[in-house]
Copies of this chain bind each other. A is one copy, B any other.
Amino acid sequence: MSKSTSRNTTIQDIAKELNVTAATVSRALNNHPRISEATRQAVAEVADRLNYTRNRVASSLRSGKTNVIGVIIPSAKINFFGSVVHGIETMANEKGYNVLIYQSNEDTEFEKKGIQAFLSARVDGILASIAKDTRDISHYLEARDKGVPIVFFDRTHDDTSIPYVVVDDFKGGYLATEHLINQGYKRIAHVSGQQHLKIFAERLRGYKAALKAHKLPFEKELVFAGNVSIESGKEAVKHFLGLPEPPDAIFAVEDFTALGVIKELKENKIKIPEQFGVVGFANEEFDEHITPALTSVDQQTVMMGKEAFNLIMDMINKKVVRNVDNKKVILEPLLQPRASSQR
């Protein structure tokens, strides 16, 4: 491979060509209000001819602004986060920001390293979805205390001083359950997720509320404590079918659990949706490809990314880092009715 050559053109080079100073060139390039149209055009012409590319490193150093946003996600391999990043990056492009990515691998230590890397890079703001087992968020708070605004998305924290964007899990659970009720199912069960995670607890709460609103009794034995896996969906069905009065529908806390539910019901030759209704949560890609297609609750991932970006932009522009006016965005979950629950 051959050596690289050439030195980049600077505003000095342009200045010399036009017999003006670098300051003037800088102003012209940045559309400073008090610059003559003539010089602006002359500068643009020469810049173009010399193939000038602004050195953002230098301008960042001088101005104290990098126009870079750092994003911490558990993993880029997870669909959900790829989708959110898509939303973030789309907005960033529009606003002239660059996006740095860092993966925590669900590990608090990596999270710390990521924040450190972002602080070194002097990012203008940080968007983060915290690792599953991160309880102590002091590393985030330290970054904030150094003046870097932070916004959480999806995986948030009780600390209210940090703005966040989430989907309304309570409402999602409510909608899913109500949908089953409206479809005429009479005994609706729930396969839950780990209750120490707020999102799962909220979905259960939504389930209960929907039952109550429709004057259906809440029965403890119709809630199976799962762990967000295909396996727990299967086990739940085994458990439910053993009950003296089994349910005729299940709202599963997320789609993989729902998948397990469907697999086990089919194993038992139970017809979906005729004899049994199933609803999941997350609107995973496979939902529409399995048989029967799975009704689910969409979490508006792309919108989540866009809203998170808007929040951080707001903080950057207002030069604030603490969420004193208690900003947050709660997105509406969207029910996606498919074959598994419609009869």
Question: Which residues in A have some Cβ–Cβ distance to B below 8 Å?
Answer: 1-6, 8, 51, 53-58, 60-61, 66, 68, 75-79, 81-83, 85-86, 89-90, 93, 98-103, 110, 113, 116-117, 119-122, 145-149, 163, 259, 266, 284-286, 289-291, 302, 315, 318-325, 327
19 A-B residue pairs with CB within 8 Å? A2-B321, A3-B320, A5-B147, A54-B120, A55-B61, A55-B122, A56-B121, A57-B61, A58-B61, A77-B86, A79-B285, A82-B82, A89-B101, A90-B103, A93-B102, A93-B110, A98-B100, A100-B101, A101-B101
Contacts of A284 in B (CB 8 A): 285
What is the CB-to-nearest-CB distance from A155 to chain B, in angstroms, rounded to a whole number? Answer: 17
**B residues near A119, Cβ cutoff 8 Å:** 53
Q: How long is the Cα–Cα vector from A113 to B53 in the complex, in angstroms?
A: 12
A243 to B336 CA separation, bound complex (whole angstroms): 39
CB-CB < 8 A to A4: which residues of B? 147-149, 319-321
Given contact pairs A2-B320, A3-B319, A286-B290, enumerate 4 new A-B contacts (beta carbons under 8 Å): A1-B321, A4-B147, A53-B120, A57-B60
Whether the pair A320, B1 counts as a contact (CB closer than 8 A) is: yes
Q: Are A55 and B1 in contact (CB under 8 A)?
A: no
Min CB gap A288→B, angstroms: 9
CB distance from A310 to the nearest CB of B (A): 14
Q: Are B289 and A327 in contact, with the CB atoms below 8 A? A: no
Taking a contact as CB atoms under 8 Å apart, the answer to whether B320 and A77 are in contact is no
How far does the alpha carbon of A53 sit from the alpha carbon of B148 in the complex, in Å? 13
**Which residue in B58, B85, B325 is a CB contact (below 8 Å) of A101?**
B85
A76 to B86, CA, bound (A): 5
A81 to B: closest C-beta gap in Å: 8
- Chain B contacts of A76 at CB under 8 A? 76, 82-83, 85-86, 89
Knowing A53-B119, A56-B120, A57-B121, say if A86 contacts B93 (CB, 8 Å).
no
Residues of chain B contacted by A121 (CB below 8 angstroms): 56-57, 68, 98
Q: Which residues of B contact A93 (CB under 8 A)?
A: 102-103, 110, 113
State how many angstroms separate the Cβ of A3 from the closest Cβ of chain B.
6
In the bound complex, CA of A101 to CA of B320 (Å): 26
Q: Judge whether B8 and A146 touch: CB under 8 Å.
A: yes
Write the nearest CB–CB distance from A117 to chain B, whole angstroms: 6
Closest to A1 in B: B320
C-alpha gap A83/B58 in the complex (Å): 33
Q: In the complex, what's the smallest C-beta–C-beta distance from A141 to chain B, in angstroms?
A: 13
Smallest distance from the beta carbon of A53 to chain B beta carbons, Å?
5
Name the distance in Å between A50's Cβ and chain B's nearest Cβ: 12
A289 contact set on B, CB distance < 8 A? 259, 286, 289-290
Q: Nearest-CB distance from A77 to chain B (Å)?
A: 4
With a cutoff of 8 Å between Cβ atoms, the chain B residues found around residue A315 in the complex are 1
Contact across chains for A147 and B6 when beta carbons are under 8 A apart:
yes
Q: Are B286's CB and A122's CB within 8 A?
A: no
* 8 Å CB contact of A324 from B1, B55, B98, B149: B1
Chain B nearest CB: distance from A213 CB in Å? 33
Name A79's closest neighbour in chain B (CB-CB).
B79
Given contacts A4-B320, A77-B82, contact A53 B146 (CB under 8 A): yes
